[in-house]
């Protein structure tokens, strides 16, 4: 969930009133936000870098507010204020208009070289805007929030904003060889080629995270004006020439990306949020984008969409009984201008360009419920009549684990993920013989594979509890995973029961006795016949020679028991003899 940091006093000033922290927290809760933290720049720096560095920092109170991940329109002070003011019916939702320029329309021409790397671009102009320090900071911060969230760290969309008065259109969006791109980037004093920049930014804490997006491509995207001035090399860095400042009056905005829908949403959000500060409030100057196929589009779209939802559907889905008129009022408070039409049961809802999150009637229904107040909804119990059933495998597991404890064994709970070493090397097996499922992106060796046996987890538990009085008698009933091409995903869980006895003597007879007890509980008699169970001398790399037996039940091998090999004991950092038992319990369902 994105967190937006706003100055408290600025927020209250914009809301036209002050709140206590508790009151504001309450308002957030009702609206679906969360007042996460009350802090200041000074506090943040002092927490991260120590109080010495924080000495000169501002102690203006900051509210850190958690915003739902799909509400891009609430990612800045301007949007938060507008949302809350409409919610509290203090203002009417503004109408955003795209207008044609008095003079020539700004043009962005996309060449076909971009197709393989970053094919889409949209653009718009904010004309006669008036920044202040706070507005400017908010403008930069909103771009950063959008980059981190909907833009997926600039992979899907990257935003560039420029001082239009320093440039002259038309603009060209193309892709060139890195060595052919040369410009002075933001915050640098001289020109560099793209190759040089990529090297320089490898050590830049902020920019290095974006390099991978284009790094290994033969051509890099670049936007330049009619004089060849580079505006930006998306998604990495803008040019210094067209940088915006607090004094910039006309802003050219371009968004490039791999996802056309998201690029349009991002552009809409930026212009709707900041057209508030334009001379003609809430108007945005159009720009024309010409695609390589020659087709030309005008942006921003700023599309208003109409949906019709029946009032009784809203009532039925939420569990309330409101008149259509009241429902329309509730929706209007959520920035969705609504009115009752037709037979008096239909509500026509206008979805503004700021609410890209509304894609279905259910989104509208949720907003009606939020405005009604979740906590005002009458709680009722559904009349759904059902008979409960346990999942048979879990039912058997529950019964068995109680009787395992009754037999004097203590239950442990170990991880399903582990290292290759745990299930292979340490047990004297080659990893290729385990049929284990392998993880492609583990952050540490602890998460290389899914376990194929419960034994390593139990032995590691003993190793962590060597101070406990002996004997240690442990068990676990849980799932292991084996590759299996007969299943849809190519792997299958098996429910295993594993028990170990760890003492100064191996105690094979105790583990053997436990097997006899388990079979007694499962109503399987000893014997060679089809219904019975039997153990037969066997071997296994994990066991001491001559001290291992395979367990057969109903003629089927279900596992092994025996005294562990001294090498296994040593590799798990243990010092005492140990016997173990591991069976698959699924045949007993």
Partner 1 sequence: MADGPVAELLLRRLEASDGGLDSAELAAELGVEHQAVVGAVKSLQALGEVIEAELRSTKRWELTSEGEEIAREGSHEARVFRSIPPEGLAQSELMRLPSGKVGISKAMSNKWIRVDKSTADGPRVFRVVDSMEDEVQRRLQMVQRGQAEKLGEKERSELRKRKLLAEVTLKTYWVSKGSAFSTSISKQETELSPEMISSGSWRDRPFKPYNFLAQGVLPDSGHLHPLLKVRSQFRQIFLEMGFTEMPTDNFIESSFWNFDALFQPQQHPARDQHDTFFLRDPAEALQLPMDYVQRVKRTHSQGGYGSQGYKYNWKLDEARKNLLRTHTTSASARVLYRLAQKKPFTPAKYFSIDRVFRNETLDATHLAEFHQIEGVVADHGLTLGHLMGVLREFFTKLGITQLRFKPAYNPYTEPSMEVFSYHPGLKKWVEVGNSGVFRPEMLLPMGLPENVSVIAWGLSLERPTMIKYGINNIRELVGHKVNLQMVYNSPLCRLDAKPRPPPTQEAA
Site for partner 1 in 135-174 (CB under 8 A): 152, 155-156
Q: Mind spelling out the 3-state secondary structure of 236-293?
A: CEEECCCCCCCCCCCEEEEEEECCHHHHHHHHHHHHHHHHHHECCCCEEECEEEECCC
CA-closest candidate to residue 122, choices 257, 269, 284: 257
Taking the alpha carbons at both ends of the chain, their separation in whole angstroms is: 44
* Whether 460 contacts 500, CB under 8 Å: no
Cβ at position 212, least distance to partner 1 in Å: 12
Helix (H, G, I), strand (E, B) or coil at 525: coil
Cβ at position 492, least distance to partner 1 in Å: 7
Is 521 an interacting residue with respect to partner 1 (CB under 8 A)? no
* Whether 51 contacts 114, CB under 8 Å: no
| Closest to partner 1 by CB, 8 or 152 | 152
Site for partner 1 in 3-42 (CB under 8 A): 29, 31-32, 34
Q: Residues 529-537: contacts with CB within 8 Å, 24+ apart?
A: 530/554, 530/555, 535/561
**Interface segment toward partner 1; rule CB under 8 A; list 99-107, 189-197, 377-385, 518-526:** 377-385
Cβ at position 148, least distance to partner 1 in Å: 10
**Rounded Cα–Cα distance for residues 178 and 156 (Å):** 21
DSSP output for 172-194: EEEEE-GGG-EE-BTT-SS-EEH
| Closest to partner 1 by CB, 225 or 422 | 422
| Closest to partner 1 by CB, 11 or 320 | 320
Q: Residues 513-521: contacts with CB within 8 Å, 24+ apart?
A: 514/407, 514/409, 514/581, 515/551, 515/561, 515/581, 515/583, 517/403, 517/407, 518/400, 518/404, 518/583, 519/553, 521/399, 521/400, 521/403
Cβ at position 429, least distance to partner 1 in Å: 17
Site for partner 1 in 421-450 (CB under 8 A): 437-443, 446-447, 450
**Interface segment toward partner 1; rule CB under 8 A; list 3-11, 101-109, 288-296, 466-474:** 466-474
Is 361 an interacting residue with respect to partner 1 (CB under 8 A)? yes
| Closest to partner 1 by CB, 190 or 383 | 383
Is 520 an interacting residue with respect to partner 1 (CB under 8 A)? no
Question: Of residues 492, 512, 517, 547, which one binds partner 1 by CB under 8 A?
Answer: 492
**Rounded Cα–Cα distance for residues 174 and 153 (Å):** 21
Is 186 an interacting residue with respect to partner 1 (CB under 8 A)? no
| Closest to partner 1 by CB, 190 or 443 | 443
Is 409 an interacting residue with respect to partner 1 (CB under 8 A)? yes
Question: Of residues 105, 200, 211, 407, which one binds partner 1 by CB under 8 A?
Answer: 407
| Closest to partner 1 by CB, 196 or 322 | 322
Site for partner 1 in 302-321 (CB under 8 A): 316-320
Is 370 an interacting residue with respect to partner 1 (CB under 8 A)? yes
Is 495 an interacting residue with respect to partner 1 (CB under 8 A)? yes
What are the residue ranges of helices labelled H in 20-175? 21-31, 41-49, 77-87, 133-148
CA angle, 447 as apex, 441 and 452 as ends, to 5°? 120
Question: Of residues 41, 325, 363, 567, which one binds partner 1 by CB under 8 A?
Answer: 363
| Closest to partner 1 by CB, 115 or 377 | 377
Question: Of residues 247, 489, 530, 546, which one binds partner 1 by CB under 8 A?
Answer: 489
* Whether 334 contacts 365, CB under 8 Å: no
Question: Of residues 197, 404, 423, 454, which one binds partner 1 by CB under 8 A?
Answer: 404
| Closest to partner 1 by CB, 109 or 155 | 155
**Kind and range of the H or E element at 483?**
strand 472-483
Is 337 an interacting residue with respect to partner 1 (CB under 8 A)? no
**Rounded Cα–Cα distance for residues 156 and 572 (Å):** 47
Per rule CB under 8 A, count of chain residues that contact partner 1: 99
Site for partner 1 in 53-112 (CB under 8 A): 68-71
Is 567 an interacting residue with respect to partner 1 (CB under 8 A)? no
**Interface segment toward partner 1; rule CB under 8 A; list 197-205, 288-296, 341-349, 489-497:** 489-497
* Whether 251 contacts 126, CB under 8 Å: yes
Site string (261-290) toward partner 1, x via CB under 8 A: xx----------------------------
């Amino acid at each position: 969930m994105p967190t937006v940091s706003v100055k408290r006093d600025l927020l209250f000033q914009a809301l036209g009133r002050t709140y206590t922290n508790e009151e504001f927290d309450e308002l957030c809760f009702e609206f679906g936000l969360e007042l996460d933290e009350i802090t200041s720049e000074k506090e943040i720096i002092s927490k991260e870098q120590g109080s010495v560095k924080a000495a000169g920092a501002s102690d203006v109170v900051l509210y850190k507010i958690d915003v739902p991940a799909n509400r891009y329109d609430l990612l800045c002070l301007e949007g938060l204020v507008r949302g809350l003011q409409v919610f509290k019916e203090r203002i009417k939702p503004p109408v955003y208009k795209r207008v044609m320029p008095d003079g020539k329309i700004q043009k962005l021409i996309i060449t076909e070289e971009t197709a393989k790397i970053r094919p889409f671009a949209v653009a718009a102009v904010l004309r006669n805007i008036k920044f202040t320090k706070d507005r400017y900071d908010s403008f930069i911060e909103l771009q950063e929030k959008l980059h981190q969230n909907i833009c997926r760290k600039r992979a899907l969309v990257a935003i560039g904003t420029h001082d239009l008065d320093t440039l002259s259109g038309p603009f060209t969006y193309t892709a060139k060889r890195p060595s052919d791109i040369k410009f002075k980037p933001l915050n640098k004093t001289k020109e560099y080629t793209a190759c040089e920049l990529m090297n320089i930014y490898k050590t830049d804490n902020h920019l290095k995270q974006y390099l991978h997006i284009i790094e290994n491509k033969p051509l890099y995207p670049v936007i330049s004006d009619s004089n060849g001035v580079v505006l930006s090399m998306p998604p990495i860095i803008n040019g210094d020439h067209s940088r915006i400042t607090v004094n910039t009056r006309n802003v050219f905005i371009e968004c490039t990306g791999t996802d056309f829908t998201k690029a349009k949403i991002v552009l809409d959000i930026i212009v709707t949020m900041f057209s508030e500060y334009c001379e003609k409030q809430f108007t945005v100057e159009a720009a024309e984008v010409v695609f390589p196929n020659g087709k030309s589009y005008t942006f921003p779209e700023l599309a208003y969409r109409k949906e019709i939802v029946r009032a009784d559907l809203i009532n039925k889905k939420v569990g309330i009984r409101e008149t259509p008129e009241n429902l329309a009022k509730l929706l209007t408070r959520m920035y969705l201008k609504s009115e009752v039409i037709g037979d008096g049961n239909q509500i026509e809802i206008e979805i503004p360009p700021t609410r890209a999150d509304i894609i279905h009637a259910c989104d509208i229904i949720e907003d009606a419920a939020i405005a009604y107040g979740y906590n005002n909804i009458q709680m009722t119990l559904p009349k759904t009549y059902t008979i409960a059933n346990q999942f048979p495998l879990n039912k058997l597991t529950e019964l068995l684990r109680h009787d395992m404890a009754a037999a004097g064994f203590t239950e442990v709970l170990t991880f399903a993920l582990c290292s290759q070493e745990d299930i292979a090397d340490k047990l004297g097996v080659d990893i290729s013989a385990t049929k284990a499922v392998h993880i492609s992106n583990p952050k540490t060796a602890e998460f290389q594979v899914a376990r194929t046996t419960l034994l390593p987890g139990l032995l590691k538990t003993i190793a962590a509890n060597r101070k406990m009085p002996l004997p240690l008698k442990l068990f676990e009933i849980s799932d292991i995973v084996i590759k299996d091409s007969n299943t849809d995903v190519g792997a299958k869980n098996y429910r295993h029961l594993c028990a170990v006895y760890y003492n100064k003597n191996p105690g094979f007879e105790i583990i053997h006795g436990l097997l006899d007890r388990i079979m007694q509980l499962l109503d399987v008699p000893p014997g060679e016949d089809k219904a019975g169970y039997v153990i037969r001398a066997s071997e296994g790399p994990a066991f001491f020679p001559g001290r291992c037996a395979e367990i057969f039940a109903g003629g089927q091998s279900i596992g092994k028991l025996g005294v562990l090999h001294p090498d296994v004991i040593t590799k798990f950092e243990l010092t005492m003899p140990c016997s173990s038992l591991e069976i698959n319990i699924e045949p007993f369902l």
